[in-house]
Amino acid sequence: MKRMSLWLGALGALTVLVSDTKADEQVDINLLSGAGYVVVSNSAVDIGQISNVFDGDTNTIARSASINPMVITLAFDHPRTFTQLRTFFHAGVNRWRVDAADSAADLDAGTGSFLGLVDWKTDGEWAWSASMVATQAPRSILRFQINRLTGDDYVHLNELEVYAEALPFEITGMQISNSTLNLEWSCNPASWYCVQQSSNLSAWADVEFKKSADYVAPWMGTLPTSQKEFWRVRMAQPEERASILKRVLVMNFDPILENHGSVRLSSYLGWNDAAVLTTNYLADIKEVSGNYVDWEIVQVLNIDEFPPKLDPSGWRYTDESYVDAWEGSGSWHSPDGMDYGWMVTTPITSFTSDVPPLAEFGVRNLNELVADGFIDEVIVWGGPYFGYYESRMVGATAYWCNSGGLVYEGVPLYVVMGLNYERAEGEAIHSFCHRAESIMVHVYGSWSSDATINHLWDKFTRNEAQHSVAVSGVGNVHYPPNGKADYDYDNDWNVVESDAPDWQDNYPDFLGTTDWVDNYAWISEWPEHSPQRSYLKWWLNHMPKQPGRYSDPGNATNDGKLNNWWGYLLDMNEYVESR
């Protein structure tokens, strides 16, 4: 329903504030967990992860490690009135129940605030099962018990859905002072709202999109003095934003070689300046996103140490052992991989940096800096054999992002980009493009290896060499539309027909427009770049960046995905498909 409130403000400006509420809503457990508003605890699982049961995909799973019943507890920081619970199982006959309370002690004892929401309910497999909550009252803790009745003791749980009364969305405060308008509204945490302004009530302009950081959202704006104005607040979707800001922490592992003139490793070996590479890399991504992303480099830490390897000893190169290995008089260490757990959980003050971390960082580690909103992304620079992945996703629902996901419950998703200052901008953007491929496969759920087109991602990435198609798409990271082999970015003799112009000019309303493409298509656009950098910018530049969601009733690829794929690549926490 709608609630409208009117105030006559100072300066003769009539302010109209409109709030919408709805009866109940599905609670986005993964979103709230990542933002710290709910703590999820559960029986040990041996397949999948617990976030899979809240991801909206019945094909993902969390399987208990031969624990029956499986127990999942949700501790909310704010009481909710739960209205309905739904489950989906793939294996066996199962029964489940749900209880609630305001404390773990009451829940365990079945006394005090204890409330049975759903008594034991028996269900089969491959079907949704729903149960309405008969006794509805606010509670802070939910506990699910899932008991497998047939077969073994491995509980296969695919989905749990929680529904609750919608939290009120209504204006709770307004103040006008010295041409400044201060608004406040009650709302869902981690949800998006839009403040709008109108001079005539017939046309509304978006003033600012705001993501609520709590159950009350404050906003401040400036009122004009020359005319009357109307204002309102509405619920919004994250994809409505024309641009986003992402805060980046740069960690440049570039040790000082005291026995070689006290210069940094990159300088001693004649490699590139990480500061220049960072500027160019981020500028490239901003440009090809159509300026959708703006970057804020929060801080650059030049670190005088080698990262530890992922082995029991925590082995690290010394200045001499690394230089010796590079110059051929020593050997490279095995295993090569860096200890990412060390990187993301070490207090930021523990790194040997040229400057101290920002005071407001405190002693937080990377996970905590992300969870507390200081940073959104990390760029880690290093040399060959530092053991970095090109990209690695970290967080509560982390998944494959050109390397295995690093799962930490309660942490929003973020990506650690592992870049190499021995190489150039082309290799840096190459790493980002593999990140893009991984995320889009997660969003669409598959990636056809032949000419079959199951969805738009398959269509976008078609190329002649891998798929034997008459009309190529835009290609993929390793294979341009006309490429004959991996990394064939400078092929000027094989000309193929490509629907790249259809993606660039007509998406989402494909018109079947094609053109003949060879390396000139990208080199002509960025002639000052290497063929690799030019192609990958051309490839990214063709990625959809239109508003709304895709809908084509006459096409099997009508999938409701974002028309702006950059939302998935850079703002993955905001969309259920990319979480």
Q: Which of 2-11, 264-273, 370-379, 556-565 has the lowest mean pLDDT?
A: 2-11
Provide the pLDDT confidence category of residue 210 given band limits of 50, 70 and 90: very high
Provide the pLDDT confidence category of residue 228 given band limits of 50, 70 and 90: low
What is the mean predicted confidence (pLDDT) over 221-227? 71
What is the mean predicted confidence (pLDDT) over 83-102? 93
What is the mean predicted confidence (pLDDT) over 235-245? 95
| Paired tokens of 503 | 């993606």
Three-state SS at 550:
coil
Provide the pLDDT confidence category of residue 164 given band limits of 50, 70 and 90: very high
Share of the chain above pLDDT 90, in %: 80
Separation between Cα atoms, residue 466 and residue 473, nearest integer Å = 12
| Paired tokens of 488 | 């064939």
pLDDT at residue 557, rounded to an integer: 55
Q: Where are the alpha helices (DSSP H) in 23-96?
A: 29-34
Separation between Cα atoms, residue 42 and residue 145, nearest integer Å = 10
Is the Cα dihedral 510, 513, 516, 517 positive or negative? Answer: negative
Cβ atoms of residues 135 and 117 within 8 Å? yes
pLDDT of residue 369 exceeding 60, the answer is yes
pLDDT of residue 225 exceeding 90, the answer is no
Residue matched to tokens 């028996």: 122
pLDDT at residue 227, rounded to an integer: 62
Q: Where are the alpha helices (DSSP H) in 328-380?
A: 340-345, 366-371
Domain with CATH 2.60.120.260 in the chain: 25-165
CA angle 409, 414, 419 (to 5 degrees): 135
> Which homologous superfamily does the CATH classification assign to the domain defined by 25-165?
Galactose-binding domain-like (2.60.120.260)
pLDDT at residue 558, rounded to an integer: 61
Is domain 2-22+167-234 classified as CATH 2.60.40? yes
Long-range contacts of 50-53 (CB under 8 A, 24+ apart): 50/409, 51/396, 51/397, 51/407, 51/409, 51/579, 52/158, 53/157, 53/158, 53/159, 53/160
CA angle 576, 578, 579 (to 5 degrees): 65
DSSP letters along 461-476, please? T--HHHH--SEE-S--
Cβ atoms of residues 171 and 201 within 8 Å? no
pLDDT at residue 559, rounded to an integer: 80
Side-chain half-sphere CA neighbours of 306 within 13 A: 24
Share of the chain above pLDDT 70, in %: 94
pLDDT at residue 34, rounded to an integer: 81
Separation between Cα atoms, residue 511 and residue 406, nearest integer Å = 42
Q: Of 393, 391, 379, whose CA–CA distance to 246 is shortest? A: 379
Provide the pLDDT confidence category of residue 344 given band limits of 50, 70 and 90: very high
Q: Which of 31-35, 205-209, 305-309, 460-464 has the lowest mean pLDDT?
A: 31-35
pLDDT of residue 522 exceeding 50, the answer is yes
pLDDT of residue 11 exceeding 60, the answer is no
pLDDT in tens, 107-151: 999 999 999 999 999 988 888 999 999 889 999 999 999 999 998
Separation between Cα atoms, residue 522 and residue 84, nearest integer Å = 53
Provide the pLDDT confidence category of residue 22 given band limits of 50, 70 and 90: low
pLDDT at residue 199, rounded to an integer: 84
If one counts every other C-beta atom within 10 angstroms of the C-beta of residue 380, the result is 23
Cβ atoms of residues 335 and 287 within 8 Å? no
Is the Cα dihedral 185, 140, 145, 137 positive or negative? Answer: negative
pLDDT in tens, 40-77: 999 999 998 898 999 888 888 999 999 999 999 999 99
pLDDT at residue 7, rounded to an integer: 34
Peptide bond into 335 cis (omega under 30): yes
Is the Cα dihedral 238, 243, 245, 251 positive or negative? Answer: positive
pLDDT of residue 93 exceeding 80, the answer is yes
If one counts every other C-beta atom within 10 angstroms of the C-beta of residue 395, the result is 28
What is the average pLDDT score of the chain? Answer: 92
Provide the pLDDT confidence category of residue 200 given band limits of 50, 70 and 90: confident
What is the mean predicted confidence (pLDDT) over 330-351? 97
pLDDT of residue 16 exceeding 50, the answer is no
pLDDT in tens, 423-463: 999 999 999 999 999 999 999 999 999 999 999 999 999 99
Cβ atoms of residues 144 and 2 within 8 Å? no
Domain with CATH 2.60.40 in the chain: 2-22+167-234
pLDDT of residue 566 exceeding 50, the answer is yes
Provide the pLDDT confidence category of residue 195 given band limits of 50, 70 and 90: very high
**Burial track 314-337 (b if 16+ CB lie within 10 A, e otherwise):** eebbebebbbebbeeeeeebeeee
pLDDT at residue 91, rounded to an integer: 85
What is the mean predicted confidence (pLDDT) over 482-491? 96
pLDDT of residue 206 exceeding 70, the answer is yes
pLDDT at residue 551, rounded to an integer: 83
What is the mean predicted confidence (pLDDT) over 405-431? 96
